[in-house]
Structure 1
Amino acid sequence: CLTVVDLGPGWYEVDISAETLSKTNLGAWAEGRRVNLERALKVGDELGGHIVSGHVDGVAEVILMQTEGDSTRVQFRAPEALAKFIAPKGSVALNGTSLTVNEVQGAIFGVNLITHTKEVTNWGEVAVGDKVNLEIDTLARYVARLGEFPA
Structure 2
Amino acid sequence: MFTGIIEAIGTVRLLEHEKGNLHISIESSITSELKVDQSVAHNGVCLTVVQIKDNIYTVTAISETLEKSNLGRLKVGSKINLERAMKLGERLDGHIVQGHVDQIATCTHIASANGSWVYTFEYDKAFNNITIEKGSITVNGVSLTVVNSKADTFSVAIIPYTYEHTNFKTLEVGSVVNLEFDMLGKYVSKLLSEKLKE
* AA aligned opposite 1:27: G
- Residue pair 2:129, 2:181 contacting (<8 A) in 1 also: no
TM-score by length of 2: 0.71
* AA aligned opposite 1:132: V
2:176 is the alignment partner of 1:128: no
Q: Which residue of 2 aligns with 1:78?
A: 123
2:139 is the alignment partner of 1:139: no
- Could you tell which deviates more after superposition, 59-68 or 104-113? 104-113
2:58 is the alignment partner of 1:24: no
How many pairs align?
150
Q: Which residue of 2 aligns with 1:10?
A: 55
* AA aligned opposite 1:65: I
Q: Which residue of 2 aligns with 1:36?
A: 81
Q: Which residue of 1 aligns with 2:157?
A: 112
- Residue pair 1:35, 1:122 contacting (<8 A) in 2 also: yes
Secondary structure, counterpart of 1:141 in structure 2: helix
Q: What is the alpha-carbon distance in structure 2 between the residues aligned to residue 2 and residue 54 of structure 1?
A: 8
Q: Cα RMSD over matched residues?
A: 1.6
Q: Which residue of 1 aligns with 2:105?
A: 60
Same amino acid, percent of matched pairs:
42
Secondary structure, counterpart of 2:95 in structure 1: coil
Shift of 1:149: 5.3
Shift of 1:145: 2.6
Shift of 1:119: 0.5
Shift of 1:21: 0.6
* AA aligned opposite 2:68: K
Secondary structure, counterpart of 2:94 in structure 1: coil
- Residue pair 1:93, 1:135 contacting (<8 A) in 2 also: yes
Q: What is the alpha-carbon distance in structure 1 between the residues aligned to residue 116 and residue 101 of structure 2?
A: 25
Which of structure 1's runs of 4+ aligned residues deviate more than 4 A?
A: none
Structure with bigger strand share is 2
- Residue pair 1:83, 1:106 contacting (<8 A) in 2 also: no
What are the ranges of 5 or more consecutive residues in structure 1 without an aligned counterpart?
none
Q: What is the alpha-carbon distance in structure 1 between the residues aligned to residue 170 and residue 162 of structure 2?
A: 11
- Could you tell which deviates more after superposition, 10-19 or 128-137? 10-19
What are the ranges of 5 or more consecutive residues in structure 2 without an aligned counterpart?
1-45
- Residue pair 2:123, 2:152 contacting (<8 A) in 1 also: yes
Q: Which residue of 1 aligns with 2:140?
A: 95
Q: What is the alpha-carbon distance in structure 2 between the residues aligned to residue 60 and residue 75 of structure 1?
A: 10
- Residue pair 2:118, 2:158 contacting (<8 A) in 1 also: yes
- Residue pair 1:82, 1:136 contacting (<8 A) in 2 also: no
Deviations 1:74-110 (A, max 9, x none): 1000111346421110011000000100111221110
Q: Which residue of 2 aligns with 1:48?
A: 93
TM-score by length of 1: 0.92
